[in-house]
Amino acid sequence: MQYVLLSLPVLLLAFSVHEFMHAYVALKQGDDTAYMLGRVTLDPRAHIDPIGSILFPLIGAISGAPLIGWAKPTPTTPRKYRKYVRGDVLVSLAGVAGNFLLILLFALLHVVAALVFRATGGNEVLVTADKLFVIGVELNFFLILFNLIPVPPLDGSHVLYHLLPANLGSAYRQLSSFGFIILYALIFTGALNRLFLVARPLGDLFLVPGDLVAGMTM
């Protein structure tokens, strides 16, 4: 239960940063659609979907599935990009770039927590905070890997589309109608569980060595 309680605020932050980055980079590329709708903000109220951002992750946590969900998609008008291909790729990758920045932030906070623990002996509040920081690293890595799955409408599909020949790219985009069916299949077959197992060792690369946190109850 503690893992769930710590994970939900991390997810809300991750979703907000992810969608903010999409909106911000779209604006920089010449598309003001999201800006006009108030989406160039870190305020979670502008991005959170009650079902996808709260209820669905909660159900996943209770059922033992990975904490996956979604925020309100950031609306874009690609024809407004100054350079269509460049804009579409940059806007698509901006979300995962935001998640990577959160990884660096949570990893830094983890290092600070470990150093404070060694210097002071720590306390329960510090240990709990450090658990949140570690979860922040792992969950954001998972969200990066998830969003890079080349299944429309995920971010990775936009990048793959521009790498394909025109005829294949057009056919590939037709998968958008079945994208969520494919994603649900990945969830129910346990494929996303394996993705989370990949995210954890990647997250460990950004966490401090074990001897630095020796004695912390993780």
pLDDT at residue number 137: 94
Q: Is 218 among the domain residues?
A: no
Q: What is the pLDDT of residues 53-68, one digit of tens each?
A: 887 777 766 766 666 7
Report phi then psi at 48, rounded to 5. Answer: -75, 135
pLDDT at residue number 215: 53
- Asked whether the whole model's pTM tops 0.85, one would answer yes
Q: Is 68 among the domain residues?
A: yes
Q: Is 67 among the domain residues?
A: yes
Is the model's pLDDT at 177 over the cut of 70? yes
Is the model's pLDDT at 24 over the cut of 80? yes
Q: Count how many domains the chain has.
A: 1
Q: What is the pLDDT of residues 121-132, one digit of tens each?
A: 778 899 899 999
Q: Is 217 among the domain residues?
A: no
pLDDT at residue number 213: 54
Is the model's pLDDT at 43 over the cut of 90? yes
Buried b (16+ CB within 10 A) or exposed e, 19-45: bbbbbbbbbebebebbeeeebbbeebe
Q: Is 41 among the domain residues?
A: yes
Q: What is the pLDDT of residues 185-215, one digit of tens each?
A: 877 777 777 777 777 888 888 886 554 555 5
For 10, the domain range is 2-212
Catalytic residue IDs: 19
Angle between helix axes 84-120 and 2-28 (nearest 10 degrees) is 140
